[in-house]
Each structure stands twice: as structure tokens, then as C-alpha cells.
Amino acid sequence: MNSEPIWGQSAQAFQQFFGEHWAKTLQSFQQIDPKAPGTVPPVQFEPGKLQALQQEYVREATALWAAGMKAPVPKDKRFSAAPWEHNPLAAFSAASYALNAKVLTGMADAVQADEKTRQRIRFAVEQWVAAMAPSNFLALNPDAQQKAIETRGESIAKGVQNLLHDIQQGHVSMTDESVFEVGKNVATTEGAVVYENEYFQLIEYKPLTAKVHERPFLMVPPCINKYYILDLQPDNSLIRYAVSEGHRTFVVSWRNPDATMGDRTWDNYIEDAILRAIAVVQEIAGAPKINALGFCVGGTMLATGLAVLAARGEHPVASATFLTTLIDFQDTGILDLFIDENFVKYREMQMGQGGLMAGQDLASTFSFLRPNDLVWNYVVGNYLKGETPPAFDLLYWNSDCTNLPGPWYAWYLRNFYLENNMVQPGRVTVCGEQIDLRKLKLPVYVYGSREDHIVPITASYASTQVLPGPKRFVMGASGHIAGVINPPAKKKRSHWIREDGALPPTHAQWLEGAQEQPGSWWEDWAGWLKGQAGKQIAAPKRYGQGTKYKERMPAPGSYVLQKA
């Protein structure tokens, strides 16, 4: 983006400027007609909004031009380092960029189109604006230039080394990955693999209490990530917390699919993983019923599995916890920008009958939902300044990506994200059974994160309106991961509950009667789960049960070590 203001131009010139710069970007959000490749719909603006935007731009650009080399640095963390303020040219460049970015974003909002198209254009604009920030270029970044001078060029040499390293590993380093090793300093809660098939390994954890609750507890993490998000460090491990609360705890550790699993379907994962895991936990513990937890898409799969079992007249799960889970896909937030009939058809043709959705492609997609924080921040630090990012267990996990079988992925997109079939009784068939959530009468605990950009808080709350049994809803602060992984001992963030237990039709109505509570939601959940777990019995002395389900290898097992 040119750092000089483009002020004083006509509305027609504005429109031409926008159209020329965005034609290619818009194509990434269109399924182009093969007979007319390279075409995009013409961009039209609401005249009133465009005129107001032009006038505001001319006014602000005139003031910026008058200030010249005395222009203040925008309040933006990308330009917060002292060299930006002490370098008048850099300050003017940053201020010009901020003004141009504001105008382009405003123009995206002024496009005459339906809401989804306008949001797609805005997203594309925001991606380009984020990429063109002067902080991303050594020639325009005084902070990186000063470091190069102070280190006599060593920072530049180190930056080149970092760049070559990241090219070799296939992704931008968000943390010092050399510090972490799965099973050594992440995923360290003591346990053993007691069962495996081609889809998952089942880990049972060693009790930390003399007695455990009679109902065992099964955790189902998302299969689009490694399970150890639930077991990062001892002091922020939800798994260890559950064990310390006296639950005989089991966790599904998903296999990282390779080409041999490229034909696996959603039905395969429900029948041979979700339902199988439930049955094995029952057998090992000798329990007629268990408690279960699903996180993110793991929760969607758990809900699907429970609906299949209910259709068969089986109810082996006494209670379910759903953490940042989509069950009703009516509101999918920013991800809705990517989903339409043409996109889903394309994925179905590409991999619906076989193939893999590459884990790195998924990881990149999620990173670019927050490009300044999860992409360009590391480009500047790693390559322009030659820095090694600090060690952070959550970001190490975030970079440890997993593949998905193509048929699984394509089916999931169509039936849930596009058509929202699970909440429509009898609309979708899984494992030969028609899904009807009205048959799920079990108690559920539903948690949503207030700033979640993957599962919007309204979408988490929507589960309370489609699950018919007794329900408790809790909202936590922060986002999709940080909101969930929030141990009580750290006394961070807060959560919201309603003492009256009311669950009105919308989240906004629920929030009107909710009270903010300091600290983690874990303790509230632990109290609820205790009420579902039954009496206490002597903790088992060994893993598994008999010779059929015996210790195969220590936790974290081998599947979690597989790379995409």
C-alpha cells in the first residue's frame, strides 16, 4: 500500500482504485465459472456512504499533510516501539497507512451487496491491509532497522536463518518449538494407552485420589488438533484437574491420518471411534453409564454419536459437557465467509471420494482469521528482527497440526456448516440412523467463550435451545482456547453464570440476567460434574481391565507423535 495519502480524488476515482486492487482478491472468494475464468462481479458502492467517506478522507488527509513530519504515530501495537515515534518519516508512513487502511475498510462496508458478500469483501480487504502494513517491510520499519544497526547486521543474518528454517518446516514459527517435546514437558499426566484401533488410542490416567467416582469420565478432543491441548503443563491441564477431582479419566488421542485413511467418512469416525470409545470405557470400568466431554468438533462428534445411540434405544452416557461446541450451525461467525454451495461442491469434487485435507492448510486458514496477531507479528519478529519467539506451550500445540480425511471433511461442511442438518429432526442419517436431538434427554453442561472467533458465543449458547434435557450454561472470558484452558489456581479472567438457571431464547437475553464471577469456570463445572458422577469407590490399582484391555504403552502413546 502506498504510504502517501490518495486524497482529493473523485468518487469515481475511489471506485476505480478499489476495483483495480481487489479484483484478484475477490476471486479467492468466488467459484469462477470455467467458461469465464478470471471474472468477478462489478463493485458498486452506496453513493451516500461513499461521498461521506470521501469527505472524511479529504479532511483527515489534509490535516495529515499539514502535519507533515510532525504527524503523530497511530495508537497501534505494530507501531508502538520508540523508533516509530523518534523517526518522523516512519511516523508519517504509519499515519498515512492507518488513514488509507481506514478508507479501504470503509469502502468495503459501503459496497452494495448482500451481507455475506459485503463481509467477504471486508475480510479480503482486511487481509490485504494487514499484509501491506509498513511494519512488515525492513525498508519501512525503523525498529527493525535500529536493531540491525545495533547488532551490526547480525539480526538480519539471523532473520534469514529463521526464514530458511520456517520454509523447510512448512510454517511460520510462533514459538521456540525446540523447547518442547510431547511426553517430556507437554502431555505429561501419567497414564497408559489401554486400547487402540486405526482411528484413535484410548488413554487411561492414573488416579491421584484414593477413591474415584463410580462413573468413569471420557474426554473427546477435536480431531483437527492433538489431544494435549487438554494436557499442556501440570498447572494448566484440564485432564489432570479432572483426575485430581476423583474422576477415572479416559481421553481419545486421535490418529493423524495419512494417505491410507483418505477414504474414511464421518460415519466411520462416529461408529468406530466415538461409539467404540464409549463402549470400551464402559467395559473397562464395568459401568452401565459414563460421563463424557466434547471439545470443539469433538463435541459435535460426541453429540452426533449420542444421537445415533439414542436412535438405537441406547443411552450409555449419563451426562455430557460441551466446550465451545457447534451443534446448531446457524451462526458460525467468520468461518461462514468461506462456506457456500459452490465452495462445498468444490471440496466434494476435490476430496469427497478420497484424499486428505492437509493439516497445514487448516492451520493457515485459522491463523489468517487473525492475521496481525498470528501471522505478521511473527514475520516481523522472526525475519525482520531475527528474534526467536518465546517458548509458549499453547502455540507449540497450535503448530502441531493434523490432517483430515477428505470424505469426512466434505460431509461435515455440507451437512453441518452449509445445511445445518443436525438440528432438523430426521434430516440427516449417520451410521444408518436418523438423527433427532430431541431424544437426548441427558443433563448437559454447555460452555462458551465470550471472544471466541471459531465458535461464536451465540453459537455455543444455541446448543441450549436444541438439547432438551437439564442444562447449565456458563460463559467464560477470552477466546476459543485461552477461555477453556483457564485453571483456577492462576486466578485469571472471569466467567458468567445465571443463578436462576434460566435459558431464554437468545444469548443476549441470557446475559441480561447473568452475573460475572472472578476466576475460572472450572470449579463451577467440577461441582456440576460431581453431581453426575455417582458414589465414590476404591481407585483401580492398574490400568485397563483383564487381558483384553491392558497397558499397551505409557501415555501419551504413539498416535499423538505422528506429524501431518
The residues carrying an active-site annotation are 296
How far apart CA 186 and CA 339 sit, in angstroms, is 35
Strands 191-196 and 211-213: unpaired
What stretch of H or E contains 213? strand 211-213
Cell 508512513 maps to which residue? 93
Q: What count of Cα atoms within 13 Å lies in the side-chain half-sphere of residue 152?
A: 0
Nearest in space to 104 (alpha carbons), one of 133, 80, 75:
133
Q: Give first-to-last CA distance, the chain, whole Å.
A: 35
The answer to whether residues 192 and 543 touch, using CB atoms and an 8 Å cutoff, is: yes
| Residues paired with residue 293 on neighbouring β-strands, in sequence order | 219, 321
Q: Is the peptide bond before 74 cis (omega within 30 degrees of 0)?
A: no
How far apart CA 256 and CA 261 sit, in angstroms, is 9
Cell 497507512 maps to which residue? 97
How far apart CA 328 and CA 419 sit, in angstroms, is 10
The answer to whether residues 303 and 440 touch, using CB atoms and an 8 Å cutoff, is: yes
HEC string of 420-482 equals CCCCCCCCCEECCEECCHHHCCCCEEEEEECCCCCCCHHHHHHHHHHCCCCEEEEEECCCCCC
DSSP string for residues in 519-555? S-SHHHHHHHHHTTS--EEEPPSSSSBTTTB---EET
How far apart CA 59 and CA 53 sit, in angstroms, is 10
C-alpha cell at 298: 469433538
- DSSP type of residue 556: T
